[in-house]
Structure 1
Amino acid sequence: MTETKTSQITVERLRTLMTPDPAHPEEVEGVLNPAAARGPDGQLYLFPRLVGKGNYSRIGIARVIFDEAGSPTGVERLGIALEPETDYETWPDGRGGCEDPRVSYVKPLGHYVMSYTAWSDTGPRIAIARSKDLLSWERIGLAKFNPNKTIALDGVDNKDACIFPELIDDPDGRLSVAMLHRPLFVGTRPEEIVDPNIETPQQDELQTIWISYWHWHADSEHQKPSGRQFVSHRPLALPEYGWEKLKIGGGTPPIACRFGWLIVYHGVQEAPHSTPEKRKYLYSAGIMILDRDRPHHVLYRSHEPVLVPSLPDELLGTVDGVVFPTGIDRRDDLGQPERFDVYYGMADDKIGVATFTLPDNLDVKSRDAHGLTLQFKELHSRSHS
């Protein structure tokens, strides 16, 4: 175990929790980037991306095993949640991908909602599924997006989506299912930004984590978002600090904490040993706090990463130098609501777990995606006036 204190947050790496089992052909090339959710039975379940031969990805199911002190020590594999079947998950040549899931229980919908990356010959897209028990999953389909002014979001490569666990008012006060996501517009991938021959888009919104809203109605087809149409959008956060210079993207689903909505997100920078001939990148993790009532306002953000690749399992693997947070578990079961266990991909082929403990106080301010800053007390008083 290693413990660090960064930006007032204590982070303790616990262990490498899951590695590929050569006895399972569906994961011979890696297990990584898991969703995490407590089931109706109170048990914690992971939904790792399982990579088989030829980069063929499924989403598995595993139950987390804890020791007497409540520390995660291993997993019990339970099978497959989703594997490529639809046209938006498969290629004509037999390749396919159901990748990098996030899971939230959305109580008003009465379902667990999984957002995941569907990979086909049209590119990566956000897909949605739902479940009553975490074991059987029903596909809802691809997320659809109305344009945002002059920016078309539908039909654009997109990843890193996660759903809020509660219904949220959109900026116009309409009750909604809210989702964070990261469109990958042309010129905004790390390898494109560092390439002097590729022009980086000048519009800040094109390098942003977005928050989008699907307007919810109580009489909607058994509370099922059949249209999957997200109609209201806002830029949330731009790359701002050195550790996230090349890309910023979502991570764990939003989870309530004393300060607002907590997310652990990822940022990308060029690695120290990178060269123009052979580019190398570091994927690190940071903390973001969103306003509870107006989550398009960022209240707190890590100036420095709280989790940087440093262990051998994080530095060497399918993709070197990667920590990629995707699952989070608030430890209410231990009576520790300020402790969050974060499950993350290690170098794109293993799964690690670390404990994040929040301090009594954070220097929270409100910032929009363009750097506008308001004192939190002022924002709080206006939002309740």
Structure 2
Amino acid sequence: MNHFELTRLGLLMEPEPGNSHEVGGVLNPAAVRGPDGELYLFPRLVGKENYSRIGIARVQFDEAGDPCGVERLGVALEPEADYELQENGRGGCEDARITYVERFNRYLMTYTAFSRSGPRIALAVSEDLFHWKRLGLATFEPFRGTDFVGVANKDASLFPVAIPNHRGKLQLAMIHRPLFPGTLPEETDCDECARLVDLDHESIWISYCPMELDGLKPKHLGLFNSHHRLATPVEPWEALKIGGGTPPVMTRHGWMMLYHGVHAEEPSDASGKRLCYSAGVMILSKEHPRTILYRSAEPILTPIDPHERDGVVENVVFPTGIDCRTDIGQPDRFDIYYGMADSRIGVASMTVPQQLPTTTLPRVDAPNAIVPVVPLPAEATA
């Protein structure tokens, strides 16, 4: 086997009838093993008027070891802080990712806090997954003319260990995708055959938090003062936008993460173009995670199932949780938990190949360069 294989295992979680916390959907869960070895999901629970909480559920497995259901255990976070609240009683704690950070012997959660100012990245910490302490919003210093202050930001996740920054200093690192004005897929979609991508404003970034090697407490986290532009839209399936997905996990080849890409499907009728969210794989160097070793030329997961094509937002698969199946003696198997059409949660199983597939990595030039995105061929959008 010399390529990434992914098999859908099916629908895992959908809104519970009569549950007011879930009338707008359950989606985009974090996935993490607890101190007891059990697997827990932290899904976004959407109530009326898009009021979002982060729930907690224990995953159930069948005799073959495949995920087959969940046991709901309540709410981990709901909007309380000023940076999570909007006007008229609205608010949001959304799209969590959770990483067990070895240095702290703690779980760190990154999530989207949705306030009057729009979406921002917030952090919380826990020892047991059931009791969470907010650490506040992540803040970012400017970098080579790119100012992150006041910019919407989402889809953040942390590395589980300190990694070297551009100067080789070991620091806590975050994957994130700032949403600069004009870079939403609804804004980048156009009728031109090809477009130019602003690398600084349309990329996934790695940002680094200064930290001492000993004695740092999680409460001191939050300031990210050095940055590296990691990846930008290149392939047709990600032509309009790319963004973070699952947190980075170590594999035989290096750090692996799934990420999402967006393109526009050509309409089959007079309804107009529809956005399509798919998922790909990225492998980063173990020693130097700023270096991409592999990146999907084609998506490994696209919305083809009815649960993925019909929902609150059509045509969406959105990976956010990942679980290495060492518990059943399969270290190259990773279960992927993903949002389906912003309404439900699905799960798929992916096998990491013995060798990385041969690929031509996209070439990105100087920091302020722009690159063309190749348009989708007509047959790919039929």
Q: Report the TM-score, using the length of structure 2 for normalisation.
A: 0.91
Q: Is the 8 A contact 1:238 1:369 kept in 2?
A: no
Question: In the alignment, is residue 228 of structure 1 matched against residue 222 of structure 2?
Answer: yes
Asked whether the equivalents of residues 48 and 59 of structure 1 are also in contact (C-alpha less than 8 Å), the reply is yes
The whole-number CA distance in structure 1 between the counterparts of 2:247 and 2:80 is 25
Distance change >3 Å, CA 260–CA 137, structure 1 → 2: same
Q: Where does residue 205 of structure 2 map in the other structure?
A: 210
Pairing partner for 1:315 from 309, 312, 323: 309
User: Any idea what the Cα deviations from partners look like across 1:137-157, whole Å, max 9, x if unmatched?
Assistant: 110010000101100012210
Alignment of 1:263-274 (within 5 A): 263-273=257-267
Measure the CA separation in 1 of the matches of 2:360 and 2:139: 29
Query: Which structure 2 residues correspond to residues 76-91 of structure 1 after superposition, within 5 A?
Result: 76-91=71-86
Looking at structure 2, the residues matched to 211 and 275 of structure 1 have their Cα atoms a distance apart, in angstroms, of: 41
Secondary structure in 1 matching 2:28: strand
Alignment counterpart, residue 114 of structure 2, candidates 111, 119, 140: 119
Counterpart in the other structure of 2:100: 105
Residue 36 of structure 1 corresponds to 31
Bigger Cα displacement from structure 2, 89-98 vs 325-334: 89-98
Once residues 149 and 104 of structure 2 are traced to their aligned partners in structure 1, the CA distance between those partners, rounded to angstroms, is 24
Matched, 1:288 2:282: yes
> Percent of aligned positions with the same letter in both sequences?
54
Contact 1:171-1:294 within 8 A present in 2 as well: no
- Give the CA deviation at 1:366: 9.4
Q: Does 1:149 align with 2:144?
A: yes
Give the structure 1 partner of residue 337 of structure 2: 343
Find the aligned partners of 2:191 and 2:308 in 1 and give their Cα distance: 29
Q: Take 2:292 and 2:221, find their aligned partners in 1: how far apart are those partners?
A: 29
Tell whether the 8 Å contact from 1:35 to 1:47 is kept in structure 2 after alignment.
yes
What do residues 172-223 of structure 1 show as CA deviations (whole Å, max 9, x unaligned)? 11111000000001111111112579xx886311110000000111455x52
Asked if the contact 1:30–1:348 (Cα under 8 Å) also holds between the matched residues in 2, the reply is yes
Equivalent of residue 129 in structure 1, options 109, 124, 132: 124
What is the alpha-carbon distance in structure 2 between the residues aligned to residue 175 and residue 331 of structure 1? Answer: 28
- Structure 1 counterpart of 2:70, from 75, 81, 100: 75
List per-residue Cα deviations over 1:253-286 (Å, max 9, x = no partner): 0000000001011000002327897441100000
Aligned partners of 2:297, 2:362: CA distance in 1, in Å?
Answer: 16
Partner secondary structure for residue 206 of structure 1: coil
Match of 1:300 among 291, 294, 303: 294
Shift of 1:70: 0.7
Give the counterpart letter for 1:107 in structure 2.
E
Counterpart residue number, 1:378: none
SS in 2 for 1:88: helix
Contact kept, 8 Å, 1:271 with 1:281, in 2: the verdict is yes
> 1:16-45, CA deviations, whole angstroms, 9 ceiling, x for partnerless residues?
000000221101110000000000000000
- The answer to whether structure 1 residue 179 and structure 2 residue 174 are counterparts is yes
Aligned length: 364
Deviates more, 1:225-234 or 1:20-29: 225-234
Offset at residue 371 of structure 1 (A): 6.1
Displacement, 1:368? 8.0
Aligned to 1:260: 254
Unpaired segments ≥5 residues, structure 2: 367-382
SS at match of 2:174: strand
Query: SS of 1:243's equivalent?
Result: helix
Asked if the contact 1:187/1:201 (under 8 Å) is kept, the reply is no
Cα 1:360–1:218 change in 2 (3 A) is closer
SS in 2 for 1:134: coil
Q: Which has the higher contact order (CA 8 A, sep 6+)?
A: 2
Distance 1:307 1:96, change over 3 A: same
Distance in 2, matches of 1:202 and 1:354, equals 31
Aligned residue type for 1:336: Q
Question: How far is the alpha carbon of 1:287 from its aligned partner?
Answer: 0.5
Supply the distance in 1 between the matched residues of 2:174 and 2:268 (Cα, whole angstroms).
Answer: 34
Deviation at 1:66, TM superposition (A): 0.5
TM-score normalised according to structure 1 size: 0.90
| Corresponding position of 1:361 | 355
1:119-164 per-position Cα deviation (integer Å, ceiling 9, x unaligned): 0110100000011011111100100001011000122100010000
Letter in 2 for 1:167: A
8 Å contact from structure 1 (residues 298, 366) kept in 2: no
2:22 maps to what in 1? 27
What is the one-letter code of the residue matched to 1:311?
D
Q: Secondary structure of 1:54's match?
A: helix
Select 1:247's aligned residue among 241, 247, 266. 241
3-state SS of 1:93 partner: helix
Q: 1:208 to 1:276 in 2, by over 3 A?
A: farther
Secondary structure at the aligned position of 1:117 is classed as strand
- 1:182 is paired with a residue whose SS is strand
